[in-house]
Amino acid sequence: EAGVVQSPRYKIIEKKQPVAFWCNPISGHNTLYWYLQNLGQGPELLIRYENEEAVDDSQLPKDRFSAERLKGVDSTLKIQPAELGDSAVYLCASSLATNTEAFFGQGTRLTVV
């Protein structure tokens, strides 16, 4: 069974440019998470979806970040415009349901220059 797939693995962009990350969760997993991981820190939740509904986006900086999960499967996380402080690893995870174990993708390492 394929795990959580994220792309790209690495992205370097100039500040003020837009960037998008894509995530394909494990088949059948209704819950999808986007986490932000700064260097030397644990992951912090940005947004959680149950099917296509965003049920927790309280930590998502909505002035520049947006996310969608059309049809309740794949998800895209976008930043526009990117700032230097957005340099981090963006992790996608999925689980069968909330409060079951989450399975993580390999992450996208974003560098904003």
CB of 99 vs another protein, minimal distance in Å: 5
Q: Using the rule CB under 8 A, which residue among 1, 53, 58, 71 binds another protein? A: 58
Exactly one of 45, 64, 81, 96 binds another protein (CB under 8 A); that residue is 45
Q: Kindly indicate which of the ranges 20-28, 48-56, 69-77, 80-88 contains the residues binding another protein, using the contact rule CB under 8 A.
A: 48-56
Q: Which residues pair with 91 in a beta bridge?
A: 35
Q: Please, which residues have CB within 8 angstroms of residue 110's CB and are 6 or more apart in sequence?
A: 11, 12, 13, 19, 21, 79, 82, 86, 87, 88, 89, 90
Residues 26 and 94 sit within 8 Å (Cβ to Cβ) = yes
| One-letter amino acid of 58 | S
As a whole number of angstroms, the distance between CA 23 and CA 92 comes to 6
Q: Which residue has the tokens 């927790």?
A: 56
By CB under 8 A, residue 98 contacts another protein: yes
Stretch that binds another protein, among 18-26, 37-45, 62-70, 72-80 (CB under 8 A): 37-45
Confirm or reject binding of residue 25 to another protein (CB under 8 A). no
Where do contacts with another protein occur on this chain (CB under 8 A)? 4, 33, 40-45, 48, 55-56, 58, 91, 93, 98-99, 101-107, 109
